[in-house]
Chain A
Amino acid sequence: DAGVTQSPTHLIKTRGQQVTLRCSPKSGHDTVSWYQQALGQGPQFIFQYYEEEERQRGNFPDRFSGHQFPNYSSELNVNALLLGDSALYLCASSDDSGPNTGELFFGEGSRLTVL
């Protein structure tokens, strides 16, 4: 049973470019959350997708957008990249079975470097 898979694992972009990161949730999970983790800090919530809709959003600008597909996989898009967008982007999946987030299963992340 595959866990959460993310691609690509590493990528380098330049300022102003756009990036798309991909995530496949753990089998049986229907909810996908995205987090940004800067070096030496804890993950910060970007947004969460459930039933192909954005259900929750953190304090991130509109440059950050996402999508969830019928098979529950998800994409994170970041437009007009800034140097400060350099971070590890984590995807986490869960099942929507309770009032709380519950146990999140994280992927290993996509390391984005913006030059």
Chain B
Amino acid sequence: GESVGLHLPTLSVQEGDNSIINCAYSNSASDYFIWYKQESGKGPQFIIDIRSNMDKRQGQRVTVLLNKTVKHLSLQIAATQPGDSAVYFCAEEFTGGGNKLTFGTGTQLKVEL
């Protein structure tokens, strides 16, 4: 499949290690945030979301942390697996601005065996 991750920031981790992917968002009014995973040749896939009234949310093997003071979002993946290799995007939304997500530029995660 074609690559969507050319010249993106890259994070390389060993299989089994934990991964932390960071994102700085742009709009201080944004109050809803989502992480998406995009594998080569595919559309983005929803991973987890968080609202601005929370600073942490956990899913299956994933945790999202939100720091509104510095407009920073992170995605933690526990026990990273080869299937986690993909480009990861954070996206933000301002509820009062309508249903339109603003995506970041993405981070390429490479899992080494």
Residues of A that sit less than 8 Å from B by CB: 4, 31, 33, 35, 37, 39-45, 48, 55-56, 58, 88, 90, 92, 94, 99-109, 111
Contacts and interface: CB of A to CB of B under 8 A. Distances in A.
Contacts, number: 74
A41 B5 CA distance: 8
SS class, residues of chain B in contact with chain A = loop
Nearest to B96: A99
Interface of B: 2, 4-8, 32, 34, 41-46, 49, 51, 89, 91, 93, 95, 98-106
B4 A88 contact: yes
B92 to A, nearest CB: 10
Nearest to A31: B99
| Residue picked from B4, B8, B32, B104, most chain A C-beta under 10 Å | B4
B4 A48 contact: no
